[in-house]
Amino acid sequence: QVQLVESGGGLVQAGGSLRLSCAASGSIFGTMGWYRQAPGKQRDVVATITSGGITNYADSVKGRFTISRDNAKNTVYLQMNSLKREDTAVYLCNARSLNGITWDVYWGQGTQVTVSS
């Protein structure tokens, strides 16, 4: 019943920008973030943000991407600037919520980001 609905992916030229959105149902999550996975590659974390606003970024995107969240809308965003061809991947929204002493983990369906040269 928990759903993460992603939007904003698409095709963009190198140097361009995209903004991804992930709207979550249910309660506020302790941590939300974005991961990405290219064909034949492992899934890697891109950026995370806690309910208190603490952010963390992969070195490859630091300074170019910005993660934010709107708790009133229960939505997390990823602003991607200065996009590079190597940013091409399926981007997946992730959310975690502490349930007692264990974490509940949820994933979105993924949205394709393609950066052309």
* Residue 107 · residue 94 · CB < 8 Å: yes
Residue 1: is its pLDDT beyond 80? no
What are residue 77's DSSP bridge partners? 21, 68
For the stretch 7-43, pLDDT in tens is 999 999 999 999 999 999 988 899 999 999 999 999 9
pLDDT of residue 27: 83
Q: Record the tokens describing residue 54, joined without a space.
A: 């603490």
For the stretch 58-86, pLDDT in tens is 999 999 999 999 989 999 999 999 999 99
Of 28 and 95, the structure prediction assigns the larger pLDDT to: 95
- Helix and strand counts by DSSP (H, E) for the chain: 0, 11
Closest of 46, 86, 54, 80 to residue 65, by C-alpha:
80
Mean pLDDT of 84-93: 98
How many whole angstroms separate alpha carbon 69 and alpha carbon 93?
12
pLDDT of residue 64: 98
* Residue 57 · residue 45 · CB < 8 Å: no
How many whole angstroms separate alpha carbon 48 and alpha carbon 56?
5
